[in-house]
Structure 1
Amino acid sequence: MPWSDLEACKPTKATNYKALFFLCIFLCCLVLKFCDGTILMPGVRRVTVSLDVPEQLTVPLFTVSYHSKKCKQSRRDGNFKKYYIDDSNVRSVEPEREEGTRIYSVTVPVEKGWYCDWKLSNIDFKLRYKRNIDIMKGIDETISERITFVFDDHYPRATNGLFEVRHGRSKEIIEEFYPVKTVNHLVGNRVDLSFTGRKSFLTYRFDSDIERVIFRPVLHTGKLVNRVYPPTWGEGEYVQLIYPDGSVDYGDPFPDFERLQIMSNDSEK
């Protein structure tokens, strides 16, 4: 090969600068992708949160929230005075299915570290009915049920401020739910389908050594409660609750969970 051709094959300064430029871009992308601590290094403690998804429900995304006491966010009160709160880092994670089951799980680090020293705060997901099941016929919208697991002293985004404390490194939580069909004549005869359980907000707090939580919802889709709002709020107009056994209550819009449990147990005898 002539010497001139060999010279042409030698890398030029422009080529070197271009390679260096792309290397910098790659490293920046790597840092931006993993600066939240999603690289799980050996020895980093993890928590696995799982949902055993019934056939009637969709598979939800899990929302994972971290908080930092080192990094702060500024806020202003009603007098426009500035104050600071712990910074937060929130992301949605698609759970992975455990082979041969309907259990979907996410595994996340308890401490992500980095500059802000991120620590796991809470994980939540929403239970929601599938659109193609029989109980959804004639329904305009399904109202989801949020389930929240708390791992620190911060309040989650949606809460009534009450927690159930669960001790131990591995916890199985079983909750029962009944469907509620709401016909709202006050809002254009809208028909919604929601859940009712033993509490309006299901929020659980765990010890610092928790390793695994599995949530198993039990659905009694054959025990439908009909809730009917009147066309007006005139005198003598009340919300009706029609229970699965045909009994009717007036006034209280919230189904009696214990009553539903008795009906369900009696039908299984």
Structure 2
Amino acid sequence: MNATKDKPKRHRTPVVLFTLFFCLSGCSQDYSLAPPADSEKITVTVKLPQELKTETMWVMYRSATCKSISHGASGQRVEQDGRHSVYKEFQRQGQSDLYQVELPKDGGGACKWHLANVTFGVVHVDPAQFGENVTNGGGGGVVVIFDHNNSPRGGADIKVDGDLTIKKDYYPWIKEAFLGGYSKRISLTGEGGIYLKYRALNAQHVYFEPTLHSHFTIYSEQPKQKKEGNYTAFTYPDGTTVADGKWHPNFLRLQTIRTGRAADCFSLRRYANCPDRRPQLLPDWLPEPGKPGFGRYVIADEWGTELPSYSYRLVGADDQVFQDLSEPNGRTKLLPESAHPLRKAEFPKRVW
């Protein structure tokens, strides 16, 4: 008799435990954001040229409290941090060319959300100016990751400490496609792919300044038939056409066409090979220790790297002329303090 009474209890216990487990897994969780009033803010600012506009920003928050549960190929349970997406429009700051979004770093709520990453970018204001039925394509995108996870667009290509400032050149790219249906798009081509991806764990301010060189448009035409040896043809602003099997334009070639500078001059890794280092005199006057009344200047390139053995010609405040080669640390030879501040700094080719 007792065994009969106990039987229903043994069946009832798993049902109660299952119900409890299901609810703890989130069936009644409040997944909404509730940023505390004193949450640290992250500001994203875009400086827009006339021809471009901002796209809607995709903001992702993550939670280690509210897990996302899925199952693998073998039926195993897979837990991941929960994700919550919101979408923000950039707000113009007065009558300026600055557009801004302010985001709470602490998303709050029962799930204890934290800001994980943002995806934003710029597109052309008026695609129709490039022809009938022309639509906006890719390029001009930015992903900034604020935690140690990947973004929906993958991991970061560049890691930065502190605030993030992005200033990049872009060119209009009109591309015609024929395979799989005709389309014509105006994209932006620049350094990197469709998205520039950064990890900035400690950033409070993100600043993006795209410069569009609208008078240097590149055109591409996809082949009408798919067969070996048929490649997309790129016509550059100087009139040359290249069909080398690549899917995107050569950015450094565009930079060279526009500026006349060698491609090495636009890459930090290859900049040392650049024939034109764009020397500049750093403004600080450095008094020479142990030699009162004397000092030096530093000659550096556009990236701030000291230029050793670089020729200079300086005209002092008293019209005295000093010309020589910079030392291994980029410093000039000793100059009398009477030469400071300089009237003129020149960097002639070495002919003396």
Q: Using structure 2 for the length normalisation, give the TM-score.
A: 0.61
DSSP 3-state at the match of 1:216: strand
Identity of aligned residues (%): 24
Matches within 5 A, 1:1-269: 35-38=32-35, 40-42=36-38, 44-131=39-126, 134=129, 136-145=130-139, 146-159=141-154, 161-168=155-162, 170-200=163-193, 201-208=195-202, 210-250=203-243, 251-266=245-260
CA–CA separation in structure 2 for the residues paired with 1:140 and 1:264 = 25
- In the alignment, structure 2 segments of 5+ residues that lack a partner are 1-29, 262-352
* Residues 98 and 202 (structure 1), Cα distance of their counterparts in 2 relative to 1, 3 Å cut: same
DSSP 3-state at the match of 1:203: strand
Greater Cα shift, 216-225 or 232-241: 232-241
Deviation per CA, 1:89-108: give whole Å up to 9, x if none.
Answer: 11011222212312111111
**Contact 2:177 2:221 (8 Å CA) reproduced:** yes
**Contact 2:164 2:200 (8 Å CA) reproduced:** no
User: How far has the Cα of 1:158 moved from its partner?
Assistant: 1.8
Bigger Rg, structure 1 or 2 = 2
CA–CA separation in structure 1 for the residues paired with 2:90 and 2:105 = 17
Partner of 2:300: none
> Cα RMSD (Å) of the superposition?
2.1
**Contact 2:145 2:156 (8 Å CA) reproduced:** no
User: How far has the Cα of 1:155 moved from its partner?
Assistant: 1.2
CA–CA separation in structure 2 for the residues paired with 1:260 and 1:139 = 26
Partner of 2:272: none
CA–CA separation in structure 1 for the residues paired with 2:56 and 2:118 = 10
Residue-pair matches, total: 229
CA–CA separation in structure 2 for the residues paired with 1:219 and 1:75 = 44
Partner of 2:289: none
CA–CA separation in structure 2 for the residues paired with 1:59 and 1:73 = 31
User: How far has the Cα of 1:261 moved from its partner?
Assistant: 0.6
- In the alignment, structure 1 segments of 5+ residues that lack a partner are 1-31
Partner of 1:13: none
Larger relative contact order, structure 1 or 2 (CA cutoff 8 Å, min sep 6): 1
- Poorly superposed stretches of 4+, deviation over 6 Å: none
Q: Using structure 1 for the length normalisation, give the TM-score.
A: 0.78
**Contact 1:162 1:203 (8 Å CA) reproduced:** yes
